[in-house]
Amino acid sequence: MQLYVFAFLVALAITYCITPQVKDLAIKLGALDKPDARKVHTVPIPRMGGLAIYAGFVVAVLSSLRLNTEIIGLLVGGTTILIVGIIDDIKQLPAKVKLLGQIVAALVLVLYDIRIEWLTNPFGDMIYVDYWSIPLTVLWVVGLTNTVNLIDGLDGLAAGVSTIASITMFLVALQFDFWVIAVLMAAVAGSALGFLQHNFNPARIFMGDTGSMFLGYTIAAISVLGAMKSAATIALIVPIVALGLPIMDTAFAIIRRFTSGRPIFKPDKGHLHHRLLAMGLTQKQAVLLMYVISGCLGLSAIAVTEVNSRMAMAIIVILVAIAFIGAKKIGVLKEPDSAGSH
């Protein structure tokens, strides 16, 4: 059996099997997601399900790969972000404290020498980023961590999108013969998919910030490892395109809040999934549509690796243009009230 198949199956089985126990633990600790005006569920649901995702991933990695400095750094950083998520799911941390925790978790990677050191110039040579390496790495990891966190608004959405993105990155890693990266991404995909069985509508448990931040962080960290192996930005472009849906949704939220004079970090009901529900789609239909969009973006990410730098840039520009036209059409760029979401 190929090692990546083994990692995928172990992560899937462990996560699937222990999620009910994690659900019981969440109820005991009072980690419950209570309904409010912005949320779409109507009864309190246990969260902190990310603990099961973490357990599945860690067991799969430890049973599939030899420990080295990079793997240890990834696991220590993942554990750090997990702890921040657990505290937040139980006690609701202020946004600034949560951000500080994310920065600390990103700096753990830097301490273990996992950092972005090279970027590709689309018109020629590689650029050595030198002392920009640390802030670039922190910005990248914190950015992707929050991106997955912000899309976790419907049953099965973050788990499904993360599964599709990690499968995309797994296929690209295989294409470039990055076996360690392939095994790590297979473990992420397995743990996200194992959790999805309990999280798809109607959800019995939410992954909470414990899960969404861990998934975003892990995908970001593994992509940095990939960039170090290949010394090419392609390893960073692939997750940007594969996670294009939550990234664009986050970008549109920032634009929407900034143009209407609202605080950027203040939640609203203007996200893509809110707009789809306001258009009359059910939760399941909205999530499945977003899976299809993520799948198309995943295929685009694979296409980007097959062409030269200029063609890759052209594909990305076309995708961004399509996203902006679509966002304008369904009202994602408007204030929720003026878009008629209430």
The three-state secondary structure class of 3 is: helix
Structure tokens at 332: 């994602």
Other residues' Cβ atoms within 10 Å of the Cβ of residue 63? 14
**pLDDT of the residue at 306:** 82
Q: How much is the pTM?
A: 0.89
Secondary structure (H, E, C), 101-136: HHHHHHHHHHHCCCCCCEEECCCCCEEECHHHHHHH
Least Cα distance to 255 among 323, 319, 317, 316 occurs for 323
Residues lower than pLDDT 50 in the chain: 338-342
d(CA 63, CA 287): 33
Residue 83 tokens, joined: 């702890």
Q: What is the pLDDT of residue 314?
A: 87
Burial per residue of 92-109, b for 16 or more beta-carbon CB atoms within 10 angstroms, e otherwise: ebeeeebbebbeebbbbb
Cβ partners under 8 Å of residue 93, min gap 6: 84, 87, 101
Cα(67)–Cα(58) distance, integer angstroms: 12
Cβ 60 vs Cβ 86: under 8 Å: no
Q: Can you point out the beta strands (E) in 149-308? A: none
At 251 the pLDDT is 86
Positive/negative CA dihedral, 115, 120, 125, 127: negative
Q: Looking at residue 122, what is its pLDDT? A: 56
Q: Quick one: pLDDT at residue 149?
A: 86
pLDDT at 256: 82
> What is the per-residue pLDDT for 259?
82
Q: Quote the pLDDT of residue 181.
A: 93
How far from each other are the two terminal CA atoms of the chain, in whole angstroms?
Answer: 52
Cα separation values, 225 from 26, 88, 218, 338, Å: 33, 28, 11, 43
